[in-house]
């Protein structure tokens, strides 16, 4: 992977890594709440010979800048501009956006601010459909990060223990020890002030996805304890041209638990979209 930075509309630097020939179809991988782009390595390892893969660190995460002002995370326009900045900096032509969990909020922001005509497709992976007061009870899994206040505390010991619990709850079966450790470490790069600010807005994402004109795919673990499977099904039905693939015996991170199947499903979707056959 090669590391780069793009500058968003408010001056925030967004870190991103690339792998694969830039002449190949582009896929932008957008991680979830308190994670980092490194989480996508199981997929980049499997698809780098066929696609140009771009994994970003969201603002406040990983190697990206971490503004102290909560408004830097509540402003939907900025999230959409972050994606636009990376698309421009990496010179991506008709990329497919793939958003895991909170990444769905980021994609929705980009759709609202920049439309979908320049995209080949959109893939949601365990994606959320609303935050704040717009979120409905049926969307919330028992391991939703909103239910564990220690994930947001300034007490480092409590926050680390809560983070370890959350990462453990993200999968149906335990991850290999080194991968689990890397996930916890990546989570801890996201400061408490950023974690608190990420859910500071009240947003229903469904209008953004219903207005989307490019093809959509929703992949969701049937045993997702963070975001309910019903949320994934509803997301696909919201889209004008959406499809839904549930993964049995899989939790909140299908690309980690079933990387071979996920890579194959993603590759097929991107190839079909690029051929203009949604």
> Exposed, middle or buried: residue 174 (CB in 10 Å: 0-12, 13-18, 19+)?
exposed
The phi and psi torsions of 199 (rounded to 5 degrees) equal: -110, 25
Beta bridge pairs of residue 124: 99, 218
Residue 118 has pLDDT above 50, yes or no: yes
Average pLDDT over residues 127-155: 94
23 secondary structure, DSSP code: T
Average pLDDT over residues 34-52: 97
Element (H, E) at 207: helix 206-211
Beta bridge pairs of residue 18: 2, 54
Average pLDDT over residues 36-43: 96
DSSP E strand boundaries for the chain? 2-7, 13-19, 26-30, 52-56, 96-100, 121-125, 130-131, 203-204, 216-221, 242-247
Look at the pTM and tell me if it is higher than 0.85: yes
pLDDT band, residue 200 (cuts 50/70/90): confident
The alpha-carbon radius of gyration of the chain (Å, integer) is 17
Euclidean distance between CA atoms 33 and 174, whole angstroms: 20
pLDDT digits (tens, 9 = 90+) for 220-256: 999 999 999 999 999 999 999 999 999 999 999 999 9
The CA-CA-CA angle for residues 70, 76, 80, to 5°, reads 120
Alpha-carbon distances, residue 207 vs 49, 134, 199, 238, 250 (angstroms): 36, 12, 18, 8, 28
pLDDT band, residue 2 (cuts 50/70/90): confident
Euclidean distance between CA atoms 234 and 19, whole angstroms: 33
Euclidean distance between CA atoms 257 and 254, whole angstroms: 5
Q: Which domain, by its residues, includes 149?
A: 2-274
Euclidean distance between CA atoms 15 and 7, whole angstroms: 9
How much of the chain exceeds pLDDT 70, in percent? 99
What's the confidence (pLDDT) of residue 276? 67
Domain count, the chain: 1
Average pLDDT over residues 154-180: 96
pLDDT digits (tens, 9 = 90+) for 71-102: 999 999 999 999 999 999 999 999 999 999 99
The CATH number linked to 201 is 3.40.50.1820
Mean pLDDT of the chain: 96
pLDDT band, residue 278 (cuts 50/70/90): very low
């Amino acid at each position: 992977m090669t590391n780069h930075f793009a500058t968003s509309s408010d001056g925030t630097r967004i870190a991103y890594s690339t792998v694969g020939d830039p002449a190949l179809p582009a896929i932008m991988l957008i991680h979830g709440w308190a994670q980092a782009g490194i989480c996508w390595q199981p997929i980049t390892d499997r698809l780098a010979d066929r696609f140009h893969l771009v994994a970003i660190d969201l603002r406040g995460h990983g190697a990206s800048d971490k503004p102290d002002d909560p408004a830097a995370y509540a402003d939907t326009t900025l999230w959409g501009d972050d994606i636009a900045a990376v698309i421009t900096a990496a010179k991506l032509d008709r990329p497919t956006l793939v958003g895991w969990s909170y990444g769905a909020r980021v994609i929705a922001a980009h759709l609202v601010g920049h439309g979908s005509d320049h995209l080949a497709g959109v893939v949601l992976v365990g994606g959320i459909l609303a935050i704040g007061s717009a979120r409905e009870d049926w969307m919330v899994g028992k391991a939703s990060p909103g239910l564990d206040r220690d994930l947001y505390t300034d007490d480092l010991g409590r926050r680390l223990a809560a983070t370890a619990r959350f990462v453990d709850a993200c999968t149906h079966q335990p991850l290999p020890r080194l991968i689990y450790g890397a996930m916890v470490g990546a989570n801890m790069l996201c400061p408490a002030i950023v974690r608190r600010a990420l859910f500071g807005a009240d947003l229903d994402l469904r209008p953004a996805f219903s207005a989307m004109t490019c093809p959509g795919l929703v992949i969701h673990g049937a045993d997702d304890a963070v975001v309910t499977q019903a949320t994934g099904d509803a997301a696909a039905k919201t889209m004008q041209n959406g499809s839904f693939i549930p993964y049995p015996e899989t939790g909140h991170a299908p690309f980690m638990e079933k990387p071979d199947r996920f890579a194959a499903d993603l590759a097929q979707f991107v190839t079909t979209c690029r051929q203009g056959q949604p």
